[in-house]
Amino acid sequence: MKVDALVYEIGSTTTLVNAFTNLKSDNPEFLGQGQARTTVLEGDVTIGLQAALVDLKHNLGVKEIEADEIYATSSAAGGLKMTVHGLVYDMTVKAAQNAALGAGANLHLITSGKLTETELVKIKSIKPNIILIAGGVDYGEKETALYNSEMIARLCLNIPVIYAGNCVIQDEVKNIFRNYQQDAYLFITENVYPRIDELNVLKCREIIQSVFEKHIIHAQGMEKVRSVVNHHIIPTPGAVMECAILLYERIGDLIVFDVGGATTDLHSVTPGNQDISKKQISPEPLAKRTVEGDLGVYINRHSIIDKIGLQSLTNELQYTEKELTEIINNYQVYPNNRQLPLVERLTYEAIKIALERHAGSFRNIYGASGRQTYAEGKDLTNVKYVIGTGGALTRLPNRIKILQRVLQTQNPLKLMPPKEAEVLIDHDYIMASCGVLSLKYPEAAYKLIVKSLKSR
């Protein structure tokens, strides 16, 4: 069978292979999906990939599949590991953090000011895939970014380093890395915080994904995947963000929940309410991602169970303690009917907490002129659509009710989406695939994801 494109999506727990055709036409088509367990623990992610391909062939009723183009997204083995280093946390560091998260990174260390010896030791032990250095507005403070560049170059880690700080010291940064024979690993882009209260994260996000494509082998077996992928390979969260931005440009303000086995990601693409923006303490990016590393419904299920409490779970789900303990001890990647109520409850909790952490809030400050109300963080009050993707929210029977229930949980001090926001589900589970396809076929990707959101 001949298809236009295959997209490999290698997740922390599940590997998918999606097949597409007619990408150059007005009627692109999603043909089908194969899935298997991700096999990082076996030492080679391609084992799971081949099993997913076999499943795809079975589902399509064919013996062979030939694809003109092959793409990939991945969040296996911790995904894109990054560390971020800037000058002031609420300014350059926060801007760099937003750029990295928007590109699909998992941040393992964030520092402000000059790096300490302890922090340098942490960087070495983390073994990040990419290091991001920021610091100083354009034509402003230079010393911290230069110092941090020197310290990182001196480590001679032979990994990509992106400089996105004060533009006037770019040549000096180049010389520093050249002196330590690390210049081949240095990438320079526009300042993520060029002026006070101005974010400029788009270029940095793009270069992070570009560097990822060229340099990343982040799970055992990925070098084999790279050898058969003839088009883009980007982090799965970054691909979901690309699709979210594509949708925002066509349908308006939205948020996307992606509940996985290891993490829960929340992507928001909205400028917020104009009246609230006048009260903002600091700028927020149009497109923002937060990742909750303690909120996964498989690998990190015990973290969510602990937050809810075993007694509360037994009462809510009407299990005996013995029944609940047995279900938890025999917990499966693909839940059976007995496990489903627990997975749905964990999914709801993950979404609720992720939304609370992502959304901004009103803040009262008291001064000589009395109480002043300000807004801090991401404003979600203009959101029109709430989209669910990921293994849990595309497969659970009560996925729509779970999202609707979360929307009913309102806090007058939080900048939450309105209760009447429309809930949409990525029924075909192709949002990440559409994101990576959109880099070459934006119109086809848009039509494919719209079909998935409307399908029942």
Do β-strands 385-389 and 422-425 pair in parallel, antiparallel, or remain unpaired? parallel
- Which of 345, 355, 350 lies closest to 266, judged by CA? 355
Is it the case that residue 392 has pLDDT exceeding 60?
A: yes
Task: Give the domain-ending residue among 215, 247, 275.
Answer: 215
Task: Give the domain-ending residue among 215, 243, 271.
Answer: 215
Task: Identify the band that residue 230 occupies on the pLDDT scale cut at 50, 70 and 90.
Answer: confident
pLDDT recorded at residue 101? 93
Residues 60 and 159 in one domain: no
Q: Count of domains in the chain?
A: 3
Residues 227 and 332 in one domain: no
Residue showing tokens 């964990």: 346
Q: Is 55 helix (H, G, I), strand (E, B) or coil?
A: helix
Residue showing tokens 């340098």: 120
Residues 41 and 84 in one domain: no
Is it the case that residue 456 has pLDDT exceeding 70?
A: no
pLDDT recorded at residue 359? 96
Residues 260 and 344 in one domain: yes
105, β-bridge pairs: 80
pTM of the predicted model as reported, rounded to 2 decimal places: 0.91
Residues 250 and 163 in one domain: no
- Going by C-beta distance under 8 Å and a sequence separation of 6 or more, which residues neighbour residue 42? 48
pLDDT recorded at residue 45? 83
**Domain harbouring 333, CATH code:** 3.30.420
Percentage of the chain beyond pLDDT 90 is 78
pLDDT recorded at residue 375? 93
**Tens digit of each residue's pLDDT (9 = 90 or more) over 82-120:** 999 999 998 999 999 999 999 988 899 999 999 999 999
**Domain harbouring 95, CATH code:** 3.40.50.280
What are φ and ψ of residue 97, in 5° steps?
A: -60, -45
Residues 206 and 299 in one domain: no
pLDDT recorded at residue 229? 85
Task: Identify the band that residue 77 occupies on the pLDDT scale cut at 50, 70 and 90.
Answer: low
Q: Is the Cβ–Cβ distance between 28 and 444 less than 8 Å?
A: yes
Residues 435 and 398 in one domain: yes
**Tens digit of each residue's pLDDT (9 = 90 or more) over 433-445:** 999 999 999 999 9
Distances (CA, A) of 179 to 131, 144, 174, 369, 448: 18, 18, 9, 55, 49
**Tens digit of each residue's pLDDT (9 = 90 or more) over 12-42:** 788 999 999 999 999 999 999 999 998 877 7
Is it the case that residue 227 has pLDDT exceeding 80?
A: no
Residues 138 and 257 in one domain: no
Residues 246 and 149 in one domain: no
- Which of 1, 37, 35 lies closest to 21, judged by CA? 1
Q: At what angle do helices 301-308 and 310-317 cross, to 10 degrees?
A: 80
Task: Identify the band that residue 251 occupies on the pLDDT scale cut at 50, 70 and 90.
Answer: very high
Task: Give the domain-ending residue among 215, 243, 270.
Answer: 215
**Domain harbouring 48, CATH code:** 3.30.420.40
Residues 311 and 285 in one domain: yes
Structural domain span for residue 411:
235-454
Residues 288 and 387 in one domain: yes
Residues 385 and 411 in one domain: yes
